[in-house]
Amino acid sequence: MAEQSAFRGGTEARPAATVMLLRPARAGAERAGAGAAGTGRVPAAGRDMEVLLMRRVRSMGFAPGAYVFPGGIVDQRDADGDLPWTGPSPAEWARVLGTDVPMARALVCAAVRETFEETGVLLASGPEAAGAPAITLDTATEEWERDRRGLVDRSHSFTEVLSRRGLVVRSEWLRAWSRWVTPRVQSRRFDTWFFAAELPPGQESRNVGGEADLTRWTDPARVAAENAAGRMPMLPPTVVSCAELAACRTLEGVREARRDIVPIEPDVRDVDGQTRIVTPDGAHYPLPKPDATP
């Protein structure tokens, strides 16, 4: 797909960003925000992390009932050059992500903004010196909630919210992971860049976005089996990404993983009489069906 910074709709895949939010493993690993059931399971020995997954409400037009990472489409204001920023420059991100500079800036901003809108977790802090511990933010206050709702209804820009509070996007907290493009036969198409990020110190995820009816922290190594059993329906990029995280085994492994960001575009084909989503490596997956469990 040609690289471009234009924001176009129609059958063109719309640019989007999603974040695999990670935290150290905890006892009761499946517990999450309100509505998620605790199982008391502890991740398998040798793995020290959990990833946040959200189940989309069944009224959503795209992937209803599927488990996804927090994220969403790029807003034109995400390319704002005045966004306060630390870490790799937009030009450096452009080289990593394979885009031009305005799109790289927009993708990083969208990743941070959408994560905050959907989980209350903000990958930003005061402008501390590089390497200095981040100041813990309490984003669960009513004042922050007003700002979060203003971002959701687009009455505020992310640049405005951060600048007013003297905060900066911590782009160094993001790790570029992959890029997936919706199959061409789909009516709603997205060109989505995946990032990995660790939960900032002192922050917790919340069920606040309205697009999910359940969130759960889970061992990424368990996702493939849960998906195959129909308990966690999801699209192939989510299944594959969780498997890749599981292969890293630890948060340190995720930090050190070498990643080449190239577009991966699956196809939809008939396989043995069933409609399947087929990835370029030949692996195929069923179309997700809404989970029947509460």
Per residue in 178-208, pLDDT tens? 999 988 887 788 999 999 999 998 899 988 7
Pairing of strands 174-181, 263-264: parallel
Total tally of structural domains belonging to the chain: 1
Residue 167 lies in a domain: yes
Task: State the pLDDT at residue 187.
Answer: 77
Residue 293 lies in a domain: no
Task: State the pLDDT at residue 290.
Answer: 55
Task: State the pLDDT at residue 130.
Answer: 56
Task: State the pLDDT at residue 172.
Answer: 94
Residue 89 lies in a domain: yes
Whether residue 65 has pLDDT greater than 90 = no
Residue 64 confidence class, pLDDT cut points 50, 70, 90: low
User: How many angstroms separate the CA atoms of 162 and 85, rounded?
Assistant: 10
Task: State the pLDDT at residue 107.
Answer: 97
Provide the 3-class DSSP secondary structure of residue 6. coil
CB 235, CB 189: distance < 8 Å = no
Kind and range of the H or E run holding 114: helix 101-119
Lowest mean pLDDT among 59-63, 70-74, 144-148: 59-63
Whether residue 100 has pLDDT greater than 90 = yes
CB 54, CB 215: distance < 8 Å = yes
Residue 34 lies in a domain: yes
Task: State the pLDDT at residue 28.
Answer: 54
Domain boundaries, position 204: 14-265
Residue 111 lies in a domain: yes
Provide the CATH number for the domain around residue 208: 3.90.79.10
Residue 285 lies in a domain: no
Residue 237 lies in a domain: yes
Residue 236 lies in a domain: yes
Q: Which residues pair with 124 in a beta bridge?
A: 169
Residue 31 confidence class, pLDDT cut points 50, 70, 90: very low
Task: State the pLDDT at residue 62.
Answer: 60
Angle, vertex CA 11, rays to CA 7 and CA 12, nearest 5: 35
The whole-number average pLDDT for the span 117-138 is 79
The whole-number average pLDDT for the span 148-157 is 92
Task: State the pLDDT at residue 11.
Answer: 74
Provide the 3-class DSSP secondary structure of residue 96. helix
